[in-house]
Structure 1
Amino acid sequence: MMQTLALLLLQVAYVVGCGTPAVKPDTNRVVNGEDARPHSWPWQISLQVKHGSRFHHTCGGTLIGPRWVLTAGHCIWPGDVYRVVLGEHDMSKEEGTEQIRDVLRIIVHPNWDIDFVAAGNDLALLKLDKSPIMSDSVGVACLPEAGEIPTHGSPCYISGWGNLYTHGPMPDRLQQALLPVVEHSVCSRSDWWGINVKSTMICAGGDVVSGCNGDSGGPLNCLGQDGRWYVQGVTSFVSSRVCNEVKKPTVFTRISAFTEWLSDVMLRY
């Protein structure tokens, strides 16, 4: 009981400071992806996989607790060795803000199935070997209330180091793009995503801006009415033809549909 209480108090402590970056994101310009203001998404992490003796960026992710990172289930392959880099902006150089942590434990959602992506549940939690040091370049995102769904047209932002366009180059610097939310009743129309999009997902974009390979697992950042940034979605899939396809918005796992699972895992481990 005391241990549970201590953990709850710890969670309250970091939630108080969640979603408030020291460096404000630049949300004034609206173009098809742009360099993010350095460290304006301090909860954005680079999930890196080991190939030979070196690590390479494979997916994005979000710091949601002192030792917890949220990413996509499809980013995790059994047997692979991962690490998490926090405080990263420009991959091409060492900026002095980076913090590297090993992954102590990986918990993929039990109902995730790589052969049936459209079933949903595309989530994984990573427990870090030790807490990063919170700073202006490393911080925690807020999580939405259970069942909360951003309204149609809500201005949310995807962030990541994914391809700049289909089969295009991977950027060195963290990118961001404005993706307005597309409500489920629109996104599930037959000429949009149809039955491939479930109510446990969020669609955003569907015009000339979208996520792309390498953005997987990263956050859909939405500004709450309280002025804090909430991670409402985890980047799951885009059109297999091209990343930027009209009526094929980027699809995210909706975090507010999984709050109970997230809480259970973080309490248990």
Structure 2
Amino acid sequence: MFAHFNLAILTVLLILHDQVHTGEIIGGHETVPHSRPYMVLLQQNKANGHSGHCGGFLLNENFVLTAAHCHAETYKIFLGLHNYHDMNGVQHLHVEKAFPHDDYDANTFENDIMVLKLKSKAEFNDKVKSIALADHGDGSLPQSCVVSGWGRTKEGSHMSLKLLEANVTLTDDERCAMEMFYCSKGETGPGKGDSGGPLVCGDGKAYGVVSTSSSPTPSASSIHRYTKIPTYKVWINSIINAISNINNER
């Protein structure tokens, strides 16, 4: 499914290396082009010279939210992207500073959330917009949830050239709740290639950040975990407000 592109940066982007606990959209379908204008494709440039990718989403014109395990030396952000064959209007931005959660645990993936401050502002238009974050609500599980991304569509395949999405149903799992995750089960959903993308539910707000997928046994259904955004909303806002105040004082 790979195609050759004139842009060198995309050539690098499409040469993917296997990554543990990154997400893919399995059992999904192509999104309506630019119907999810908050979506971000995040290129990771790592210290060992390798590159990879994660998903993410726009909080406002200056900040992106993604997973802490997507941390890298440097990043390139793609906004307004749907199909690699059509780069018209796609914005290429860089990251000024990354803020992974201080209590992120690389072994358990607890607190798997990270804020990225962009070096330059995103230009909002019909293809690029932010998404609102969910509040705590009444404690019930969100309904009618969707995950989206450009990840691999099956094990061993290349990343999708088009943005895909899949419907997922959250499960009432006590362990997930204790670890501050939402969870879904089954083969449909994220697994490898789209970590950091949003879990968007019925009211159109982002409820979770795609974190990890695992199977207790080879024959068991996959368990997909999403970092609960309402739990971290105060933390997210504290970073945005602190950086905004610094910039206002300059």
TM-score, normalised with respect to structure 2: 0.79
Equivalent pair of 1:48/1:55 in contact (CA under 8 Å): no
Kept after mapping to 1: 8 A contact 2:57/2:65: yes
| More relative contact order, 1 or 2 (CA 8 Å, 6+ apart) | 2
Distance 1:196 1:166, change over 3 A: farther
CA distance in structure 2 between the aligned counterparts of 1:216 and 1:124, rounded to whole angstroms: 11
CA contact (8 A) 1:48 1:57 kept: yes
For residues 66-91 of structure 1, give each alpha carbon's deviation from its aligned partner in whole angstroms, at most 9, with x where no partner exists: 211000000103xx211111001113
Whether contact under 8 Å (1:58, 1:214) holds in the other structure is yes
- Which is further off, 123-132 or 93-102? 93-102
Alignment of 1:258-269 (within 5 A): 258-269=232-243
Residue matched to 1:4 = none
Letter in 1 for 2:186: D
> Structure 1: which amino acid aligns with 2:230?
S
1:122 pairs, out of 94, 103, 112, with 112
- CA distance in 2 between partners of 1:144 and 1:244 (Å): 34
Partner SS for 1:60: strand
Q: 1:36 aligns with which of 17, 31, 35?
A: 31
**Preserved CA contact (<8 Å) 1:210 1:244:** no
SS in 2 for 1:263: helix
Alpha-carbon separation, structure 1, partners of 2:144 and 2:231:
20
Contact 2:44 2:70 in 1 (8 A): no
Distance 2:40 2:242 in 1: 23
Q: Who is 1:209 aligned against?
A: 188
2:134 equivalent to 1:139: no
* Amino-acid identity (%): 27
- Structure 2 counterpart of 1:171: 160
Work out the number of aligned pairs and report it: 217
Structure-2 residue corresponding to 1:223: 202
Which residue pairs with 1:238 in the alignment? 213
After TM superposition, give the deviation of residue 223 of structure 1 in Å: 2.3
Tell me the amino acid that sits aligned with residue 74 of structure 1.
H
- Secondary structure at the counterpart of residue 268 of structure 1: helix
For the residues of structure 2 that align with 1:168 and 1:141, how far apart are their CA atoms? 30
Candidates 58, 79, 88, aligned match of 1:86:
79
2:160 & 2:238 partners in 1: Cα distance?
A: 36
Report the counterpart of residue 22 of structure 1 in structure 2: none
1:153-172 alignment to 2 at 5 Å? 154-172=143-161
CA distance in 2, matches of 1:68, 1:81: 15
TM-score by length of structure 1 reads 0.73
Which amino acid counterpart does residue 77 of structure 2 have in structure 1?
V
Aligned-partner residue type, residue 124 of structure 1: M
Q: Following the alignment from structure 2 to structure 1, what is the Cα–Cα distance between the partners of residues 94 and 233?
A: 25
User: Aligned equivalents of 1:263 and 1:102: distance in 2?
Assistant: 21
Amino acid at match of 1:175: L
SS in 1 for 2:169: strand
Residue 111 of structure 1 aligns with an amino acid whose one-letter code is D
